[in-house]
Amino acid sequence: MRAVYQDRYGTPDALELREIDKPSPNPDEVLVRVAAASVHPDVWHAVEGRPAVLRLLGAGLRKPKNPVPGTDLAGEVKAVGPDVSTFEPGDRVFGGDIGGVLLANGGTYAEYATVPADRLAGVPEEVTLVEAGSVPNAGLIAYHYVHHLGEVGPDHHVLVNGAGGGVGSIAVQLAAGAGAEVTGVDSVDKLDFVESLGADHLIDYETTDFTAGDQRYDRLFDIAGNFSYSRCKRALTDDGQYFLIAHEHFGATGGRYLGYLPQAIEVILKSNWDPHLAGMNFSTPAEGEAMGFLADALASGDLTPTVDRTFPLESVSEAFRYLKTGAVRGRIVITV
Ligand SMILES: NC(=O)c1ccc[n+]([C@@H]2O[C@H](COP(=O)([O-])OP(=O)(O)OC[C@H]3O[C@@H](n4cnc5c(N)ncnc54)[C@H](OP(=O)(O)O)[C@@H]3O)[C@@H](O)[C@H]2O)c1
């Protein structure tokens, strides 16, 4: 099969297509003919091997354990392992965190990929595979923070910092869908898009500092990570909650070795005594539950996927160059 392949960590500009063997599913896995896979900052991290700590955390010490990048997919089931009873050949499926380790290659930038069945959900009829392929990575993070950790509800005023990107565009929709009042922060070019997702208030980060205003928020989802926690705290209500999702802006912020880990550890340690951080922990999304939720939200129309642009498998380097421009609204998707 054709696959994007990397022998060593390095810039996505060096990624190339190769012919490699098609994988076979383990007993609990399905073999998927990949139609689409999203291009997002965590794939960039895994390809670059940066921050270096990800290599110790399971991505592969000297070179990527899995030479094929990509962490999520949408496609058609071609075969199932003997222990799988939830899917059968012909089913349209989507899912994320395929590698099982955050910031590691999961093998989805290829014609075929094997995936544990419990990380997948069926793609609703009204959604194309390209649209579905834009959802899993961003949707899993957004669901985890907005619903699982943040428990957002109708009484909350929610601020999403970085509202026009992959995670933010889904977080805004989930928070608005939960009945919350939503403020979206992003660059001025994306604010019309953020409004179309259901945000009630818009802030252009180039002209307005949300930490300096009078408005207070019950939930602050910090995807951009451009202000310190102590500064963001000023924008919280008395029982407001802060959630650091964090963005390293492709190496421009975040340390080479530890990335955002020190900031994450800081807020998680402080969560032991600071009530504004009570919801922060190192938990990761429960994929099955989250994918089921996202599938239902897509089917009901509560969640609209945003595919900014698609790139064919052979143009993966170009896709990363576009991702790094910051112009992307929602997600870009590799089509296979
Ligand atoms: N904590 C966790 O558990 C966890 C798990 C998985 C992933 N992550 C991280 O979560 C992040 C998810 O990001 P994503 O996929 O949504 O990235 P994305 O698609 O690149 O979106 C980020 C958005 O933030 C905007 N932005 C940049 N600077 C900003 C600023 N100063 N103020 C407000 N907005 C700003 C960007 O707009 P412009 O570029 O136009 O400025 C862009 O629209 C990734 O960095 C990933 O590593 C965290």
Q: Where are the domains of the chain?
A: 2-134+305-335, 137-277
Residue nearest to atom 18 of ligand 1 (CA): 165
Tokens for 163, please give them.
Answer: 């509202």
Whether residue 102 contacts residue 265, with contact meaning beta carbons closer than 8 Å, is answered with no
Residue nearest to atom 21 of ligand 1 (CA): 165
What pLDDT is stored for residue 168 in this prediction?
A: 98
Whether residue 187 contacts residue 161, with contact meaning beta carbons closer than 8 Å, is answered with no
Query: What atom in ligand 1 is closest to the CA of residue 327?
Result: 40
What pLDDT is stored for residue 146 in this prediction?
A: 97
Q: Which residues line ligand 1 (CB under 6 A)?
A: 40-42, 138, 141, 161-162, 164-168, 185-187, 190, 205, 223-224, 226, 245-248, 326, 328
Residue 248: pLDDT band (50, 70, 90) is: very high
Q: Ligand 1 test: best mutation among 245, 250, 307, 323, most atoms within 8 Å of CB?
A: 245
pTM of the model: 0.97
What pLDDT is stored for residue 194 in this prediction?
A: 98
Q: Is the pLDDT of residue 286 over 90?
A: no
- CA of 35 from ligand 1 middle (Å) equals 25
Query: What atom in ligand 1 is closest to the CA of residue 185?
Result: 33
Distances (CA, A) of 22 to 5, 18, 239, 247: 13, 12, 52, 34
Q: Is the pLDDT of residue 99 over 90?
A: no
Mean pLDDT of 76-94: 98
Residue nearest to atom 38 of ligand 1 (CA): 326
Residue 283: pLDDT band (50, 70, 90) is: confident
Q: Is the pLDDT of residue 102 over 90?
A: no
Residue nearest to atom 39 of ligand 1 (CA): 326
- CA of 259 from ligand 1 middle (Å) equals 14
Q: Ligand 1 test: best mutation among 172, 223, 322, most atoms within 8 Å of CB?
A: 223
Distance CA 171, CA 206 (A): 21
What pLDDT is stored for residue 104 in this prediction?
A: 95
Span 306-329, pLDDT tens digits: 999 999 999 999 999 999 999 999
Distance CA 234, CA 219 (A): 12
Residue nearest to atom 48 of ligand 1 (CA): 245
Span 10-56, pLDDT tens digits: 999 989 999 999 999 999 999 999 999 999 999 999 999 999 999 99
Span 43-62, pLDDT tens digits: 999 999 999 999 999 999 99
Q: Is the pLDDT of residue 101 over 90?
A: no
Q: Ligand 1 test: best mutation among 247, 281, 321, most atoms within 8 Å of CB?
A: 247
**Strand-pair category, 217-222 with 236-244:** parallel
Whether residue 60 contacts residue 53, with contact meaning beta carbons closer than 8 Å, is answered with no
3-state secondary structure of 20: coil
Q: 95: which strand partners?
A: 73, 120
Q: Ligand 1 test: best mutation among 97, 146, 167, 277, most atoms within 8 Å of CB?
A: 167
Mean pLDDT of 129-138: 98
Chain centroid to CA 27: 27
Percentage of residues in the chain with pLDDT exceeding 70?
99
- CA of 149 from ligand 1 middle (Å) equals 18
Residue 144, sorted as left (phi over 0), alpha (psi -120 to 50) or beta, turns out to be alpha
Q: Which residues of 59-78 are buried (b: 16+ CB within 10 A; e: fewer)?
A: bbeeebebbbbbbbbbbbbe
Mean pLDDT of 197-202: 98
Query: Is CATH 3.30.70.141 the right assignment for the domain spanning 2-134+305-335?
Result: no
User: What CATH topology corresponds to 137-277?
Assistant: Rossmann fold (3.40.50)
- CA of 168 from ligand 1 middle (Å) equals 7
- Among 11-25, 124-138, 142-156, 277-291, which stretch is predicted with the lowest mean pLDDT? 277-291
Query: What atom in ligand 1 is closest to the CA of residue 169?
Result: 16
Query: What atom in ligand 1 is closest to the CA of residue 42?
Result: 47
Whether residue 37 contacts residue 133, with contact meaning beta carbons closer than 8 Å, is answered with yes
Q: Is the pLDDT of residue 77 over 90?
A: yes
Distance CA 38, CA 142 (A): 15
Q: What is the mean pLDDT of the chain?
A: 96
What pLDDT is stored for residue 21 in this prediction?
A: 98
Q: Is the pLDDT of residue 97 over 90?
A: no
